[in-house]
Amino acid sequence: ERNPYKDLKRSVDSTPIALTDGQKNVCEAVCRDLKSFTVHLIHGVTGSGKTLLYMALIDKVVSAGKSAIFMIPEISLTPQTLARFYSRYGELVSVVHSGLAPGERADEWKKIKNSEKSVVVGTRSAVFAPVNNPGIIIIDEEHEPSYKSESSPRYHARDVSKFICRRAGIPLVLGSATPSVESRFA
């Protein structure tokens, strides 16, 4: 098996995530909408605990037998993000980004399609991961221009995510310290 992240710790920490009261309120609001299409904008400064909130939401989705897609803006953030996700979800995590070798990407794609992986972490191309039973899509730092593809086919991961979420009847969570105008006023 080809895995560029084989050295990352994969022990599962199932300790309940301790959320602040504000985070609990947001988590409950999103969880009420887990079976319908809604868009939630999480506006919080850097270091405010957005990632913990995202993981609490993913916990709910995975425990319901569904899959989650978590997008980050750049490949350079992948190792630190993966370390957190692997320590929480272990072998349920799949990685999708353009820096993978073709064989590595094919391996990940097969595991996702065969429902062996239920937490997809990656850059904008992760939006196309072949999840069978999606439960939520989360886009961290949604304001970043790297979510917009400038090569053919041109797309914006946020817009593709909205389409997928609407079609599947699941929530889309957009998170940012500095939300884009499109997300803030849409």
Q: Going residue by residue through the chain, which has 186 residues, state the pLDDT in tens, using 9 for 90 and above.
A: 666 666 666 566 777 788 999 999 999 999 999 999 999 999 988 778 899 999 999 999 999 999 999 999 988 766 778 888 988 998 899 999 888 888 889 999 999 999 999 999 999 999 999 999 999 999 999 999 999 999 888 999 999 999 999 999 999 999 998 888 888 876
pLDDT for res 50? 92
Q: At 68, list the tokens.
A: 């989650």
User: What's the confidence (pLDDT) of residue 49?
Assistant: 87
Maximum distance among all alpha carbons in the chain?
A: 45
Model pLDDT, residue 72: 94
> Which ranges of 37-156 does DSSP label H, i.e. alpha helix?
50-63, 78-89, 102-113
Between CA 25 and CA 33 the distance in angstroms is 13
pTM: 0.91
The burial class, CB within 10 Å (0-12 / 13-18 / 19+), for 4 is middle
Whether the CA torsion 121, 127, 132, 136 is positive or negative: it is positive
Helices (H), the chain: 21-32, 50-63, 78-89, 102-113, 157-168, 181-184
Length of the chain: 186
Quote the pLDDT of residue 10. 59
Query: What CA–CA distance (Å, rounded) separates 157 from 167?
Result: 15
User: Tell me, what's the pLDDT at 14?
Assistant: 73
